[in-house]
Every structure is written in C-alpha cells, then in structure tokens.
Amino acid sequence: MANSPRILLVDDEPDLLDLMELTLVKMGLETDRAASVAEARAQLSGKHYDLCLTDMRLPDGEGLEVVALASALAAPVPVAVITAYGNAGNAVAALKAGAFDYLSKPVALDQLRALIKSAIKVPGSAQSDDPARGLIGQSAAMQDIRARIAKLARTQAPVHIAGESGSGKELAARLIHRLGSRADQPFVAVNCGAIPETLMESEFFGYRKGAFTGAEADRNGFFQAADGGTLFLDEVADLPLSMQVKLLRVLQEKKVRKVGATAEEAIDVRIVSATHQSLAALVEAGRFRQDLYYRLNVIDLLMPSLRERVEDIPEMARFLLNKLGGVEVKLDRDAEKALAAYAFPGNVRELENTLERALALCDNQHIQAADLNLAPTLPASSTTPGSKYPLQDYLDQTERAAILEALEQTRYNKTAAARVLGVTFRSLRYRLERLGIE
C-alpha cells in the first residue's frame, strides 16, 4: 500500500481511534495516530498526509490549532473535525477556520466513508483548472472574486453568495463546484422562489409511493439527486419559515426523510446558497431563521454589480457578442461608451439581452449606439444620490429596476413576477409595454 493515501487521526479516545482506523484500513488507506496537538504537529511536520481527522477537544489544546497547523504547511493538508453532537458552534468555527468538513459524535461510519471519499479527491491546488473560465473581466473586483472562488473550492464549507440579480451568482456557484473535489458529481440548481410552498417538502426530500394523492411511485428529491455533489439553493431567502426548519434539520443531521417514509437516509451534499436580498436584514425582520442563516453563511461571497466594474464592460460585451453572433460582429466605439454610461440594473443578464436585441436590429453585424436602444432614463449618473429629477424619470427607473428584479427572480415567468410585485398580470403587461421591457 505504498501509494495509498495516508490519513492522520488525532483524538485522545483510543476506542474511537480503533474504530476509525479499522474503517479506513478496510478502504485501503494508511493511517497514523496522534493523541494531542503536540503529537499532531510532530506528525504533520515529518510526513505527508492526504487528510487529517481531528477531535475538537484535545488534552493540550483545540482541534482548531490542528486546522491552522495543517493549513500553514507548504502543501496544505485538508482537515475534517469531529465535534460533540449538536454543537453547531464548534462546527461552524472549524469551517470558518479552514476545515474541509466535519463529523458529529457518535461518528457514523457511512458518513465517515463518504467524507473520506470526497476528501482524498481534494485538489492540492486550484491552479490545476483555470477558475477564470466564464468570469470575464480584469478589474480588481473580478480578480478578487476568482481568487476567492479558487480557495472556496478546496473546502466543503457551506457558501452563501450575495449580489444583485444578474451579477453571476449561479456562475460562481458552478465554478466552486467545478474546481472542487465534487466536480465529477451532480450539480443541482434549485430556484427556491419558483416552487409552490405546498410542494416544497416533496420536491426537496422526495416521496414514497402512496404518500399522497398522485404519488404513484417512489421519487427522489433535490437532495437525493445532488447526493455526492453540490446543491445550489438560489433565492434561498424565498423559503417559507416552515421549510427553513426542515432544511436546518437536514443540514445538522445530514439525513433526509422522504414524505411518507418512516426512516431517514444519509446524504452527502455540499450546500451553496444565493440571494439578491440581505439575509441579515431578513433575520432582523423575523423572516429568516437566525440558526439557518449561520448554517448557510459560514463563508460569504459578494458578487460585484456590473456598474462597480465598468472597465470590464467592453471585454464582457465582446465575449457575449462572440457567443451570440461570432467574431465577425463589431461594436462601435460610441456603442461601447453608451454601454459604459448605462447603469445596468439587470447586470450581466441585461447586458446580454441588450446585445442580443442590438444584434437583431443592426446592419451588417455592426452595432452602433442607436442599435442598443438603451433607455434614456437609466444613465449611470442618474443612480447617484440626489439625482431624482425629473421625478417621472426617477420613478420610471425605480419601477423598471423592480420589474427586472422580479422577472430575474422568477426566471422570467410573468405570472409569478406579477405575484411577487403585488400587481395583476394585466397591470404588469401594461408596465412592460410602457417601459419598453421585452
């Protein structure tokens, strides 16, 4: 077993060490033991390990010290921590400190095996794949985002992505998945705002045959579909409180129970969530559970809006035009200036829609400023504080931004968008026509 992965087990309970060692040996892995932080330090400095499993409480210190030691090595070693049952605070602290994942005592062997299989595939460096693919732009903001995504890909910690609609939250989530150890496993994206509340439990957790009228066969839910991979919860702020409670239990126990089933089944899923709303503000307002917020927001990633990286717009426009019409499409210099001066409340999604429309209207695949048909009520300067006159222009701008946000949130389902906005479908259709939103 000279080439077998080597695991360092750090715990002061001999019985638990025996149990884990026996399990890992059966998986064809090599193991070493340490009963304290000092012993772990000596082992980590003297040998190469593919993974370290450490208890949080050790005779001479904390498991977080082992996490720090392993992370500071020239070739960082992923660390999973073992926490006391129900001690979510320790687990979250470990993940924020850089731990790869965590297990709760008593250690379930099926969860241990799943963690090991995932951990030994962790890439030593995210440079083995280019995290820039799909994230266009050389602005400082985008360089920071790419670097952060490369780091997030190395851990299993839950990530919450914040940012305006159309700023690339799902793209960032997919990159985190693709650059991580679960890249060859499913990536399941779920729009939490598009699922009726009455169907949420069966959609997320699946159901047994006969569980309710119409349940003619067993069916898996989103969690089972994403088992071994990543579950992306888009617009997670739209989850009703009743579903938030159930989701919290799944994240704590790492088990789901299908509707109509009596037994739970273990699942191995990494959670990445996103929303354009402020979860912290929703917690303050009592619309989002604080305990779930801390579970989801272990590590946060803030996607910048397009108007915060105006220098990226020309490169982004060329990339999108190549995708839409080929390299022969030309963008006039005045058109580039017009794009840079526009506020883009819909961000990259709106930029793509604008260019697609311009491509259809232009002559000889040469896009001029007039082809863009940008609304004059939305120049970048009008978004600055105090620029609220003339009043009708300001009101139109605000209304347009709210409608675009609702359409983005509901994946351009106009009926659902009208419900989100609190207006009738006929009223929304009138407003779309008046504001020139296609």
Q: pLDDT tens across 330-357, in order?
A: 888 899 989 988 888 889 989 988 998 8
Alpha-carbon span 7 to 22, nearest angstrom: 12
pLDDT at 323: 77
The pLDDT assigned to 375 comes to 72
Kindly state the average pLDDT of the residues 211-232: 90
Provide the residue ranges of all domains of the chain, joining segments of one domain with +: 6-119, 134-302, 306-435
Domain 6-119: which topology? Rossmann fold (3.40.50)
Query: What's the whole-number mean pLDDT along residues 276-290?
Result: 91
66-92 mean pLDDT: 80
Q: Above 50 in pLDDT, residue 7? A: yes
- What is the CATH architecture of 306-435? Orthogonal Bundle (1.10)
Q: Does pLDDT of 134 surpass 70?
A: no
136-149 confidence digits (pLDDT tens): 888 889 989 998 99
Two tokens at 163?
């940012």
Give the confidence band of 125 by pLDDT, cuts at 50, 70, 90.
very low
Q: What whole-number distance in Å separates Cα of residue 171 and Cα of residue 161?
A: 10
Give pTM, 2 decimals.
Answer: 0.66
Q: Give the per-residue pLDDT at 54.
A: 94
pLDDT band of 119, cuts 50, 70, 90: confident
| % of the chain exceeding 70 in pLDDT | 90
What is residue 411's predicted lDDT score, i.e. its pLDDT?
80
Q: Please give the pLDDT value at position 307.
A: 87
435 pLDDT more than 80: no
Query: Average pLDDT for residues 33-40, to the nearest whole number?
Result: 94
Structure confidence at residue 126 (pLDDT): 38
| Segment of 305-314, 387-396, 428-437 carrying the highest mean pLDDT | 305-314
Residue, of 133 and 93, whose pLDDT is higher = 93
Percent of the chain residues topping a pLDDT of 90: 37
Mean pLDDT of the chain: 85
Give me the mean pLDDT over the 162-173 stretch.
91
Q: Answer whether residue 47 shows pLDDT above 70.
A: yes
* Partner residues linked to 302 by β-bridges: 162
CATH architecture of 134-302: 3-Layer(aba) Sandwich (3.40)
Secondary structure of the chain in HEC code, one letter for each residue: CCCCCEEEEECCCHHHHHHHHHHHHHCCCEEEEECCHHHHHHHHHHCCCCEEEEECEECCEEHHHHHHHHHCCCCCCCEEEEECCCCHHHHHHHHHHCCCEEEECCCCHHHHHHHHHHHCCCCCCHHHCCCCCCCCCCCHHHHHHHHHHHHHCCCCCCEEEECCCCCCHHHHHHHHHHCCCCCCCCEEEEEHHHCCHHHHHHHHHCECCCCCCCCCCCECCHHHHCCCCEEEEECHHHCCHHHHHHHHHHHHHCEECCECCCCCEECCCEEEEEECCCHHHHHHCCCCCHHHHHHHCCEEEECCCHHHHHHHHHHHHHHHHHHHHCCCCEECHHHHHHHHCECCCCHHHHHHHHHHHHHHHCECCEECHHHHCCCCCCEHHHHCCCCCCCHHHHHHHHHHHHHHHHHHHCCCCHHHHHHHHCCCHHHHHHHHHHHCCC
Q: Which two tokens stand for residue 249?
A: 């239990």
> What confidence tens digit (pLDDT) does each residue in 377-418 have?
444 444 444 455 566 666 777 888 888 888 888 888 888 888
Q: What is the pLDDT of residues 225-238, one digit of tens each?
A: 999 999 999 999 99
For residue 428, the one-letter residue type is: L
Task: Tell me, yes or no, if the two domains 6-119 and 134-302 fold the same way.
Answer: yes
pLDDT band at 85; cut points 50, 70, 90: low
156 vs 118, residue with greater confidence? 156
Residue 259 clears pLDDT 50, i.e. is over it: yes
Which two three-digit tokens encode residue 264? 């739970």
